[in-house]
Amino acid sequence: MTVAIRLDQKQANSRVTPRPTYWDSVTGLDTQISLDFEAALIMVGSSTREDARSRLSQQDKQTDRQKSRDAILKVMLTAEGDIATKQVEELNSQIGKFETFKQKFIATEELRQVPETARLVGDTQLGIDEMVMLSERAQHRGVVAAVVAARLEKHGVTDERDRQRKSWTRVLAAYQG
């Protein structure tokens, strides 16, 4: 049984024709509210509708701050991702140069047979282990920045979502009183 069926005649007189529309941020269209939603709005009473309008009004104040915060966060995440990428490239270049040196150094038959060769190569590798760790950390920071940026893009306040939120005020106003 739908909500619309439960409306009695008095409540049915509260209906608005045509039913109001809200902006759907997914479709990009003004969408007429359903009969069920209209019936629910009528049945919940004016205080509940007023509470919803009040909450939407409060959200207006928060939205501007949130948009500013999201814009700053997006710039920061982009910079963080770029920095991480450059660090990974630089560190991997140094690691690659060491690997080339190591292969050339131990390639000669004479040096490969001398026990101190392994010790020398090991001592030159001390900083490389740290570079590998730093490269992995930079890769991780880059991935985290990309994930947070994607979440921000999907769930942050956009003009379309803000327009949708504001359009509900128009719907609620139609059933005022």
For 57-102, the DSSP string reads: HHHHHHHHHHHHHHHHHHHHHHHHHHHHHHHHHHHHHHHHHHHHHH
- Give the pLDDT mean for 28-51: 92
Indicate whether 55 pLDDT > 70.
yes
Express each pLDDT in 59-112 by its tens digit: 888 888 888 899 999 999 999 999 999 999 999 999 999 999 988 888 888 887
Indicate whether 23 pLDDT > 70.
yes
Indicate whether 3 pLDDT > 60.
no
Instruction: Tell me what the pLDDT averaged over the chain comes to.
Output: 88
Express each pLDDT in 147-158 by its tens digit: 999 999 888 888
Let me know: does 167 contact 21? Beta carbons within 8 Å.
Answer: yes
Q: What is the pLDDT of residue 29?
A: 95
- Give the pLDDT mean for 36-61: 90
Contacts of 31 (CB under 8 A, 6+ apart): 21, 22, 23, 24
Q: Tell me which DSSP letter residue 34 carries.
A: P
Residue with tokens 């997006």: 74
Q: What is the pLDDT of residue 7?
A: 56
State the pLDDT confidence band at 125, using cuts at 50, 70 and 90: confident
Q: What is the pLDDT of residue 157?
A: 84
Q: What is the pLDDT of residue 13?
A: 61
Q: What is the pLDDT of residue 32?
A: 95
Let me know: does 41 contact 52? Beta carbons within 8 Å.
Answer: no
Indicate whether 160 pLDDT > 70.
yes
Six token digits for residue 74: 């997006």
* pLDDT-above-90 percentage for the chain: 55
3-state secondary structure of 7: coil
Q: What is the pLDDT of residue 8?
A: 58
* pLDDT-above-70 percentage for the chain: 91
Let me know: does 23 contact 163? Beta carbons within 8 Å.
Answer: yes
Q: Tell me which DSSP letter residue 13 carries.
A: T
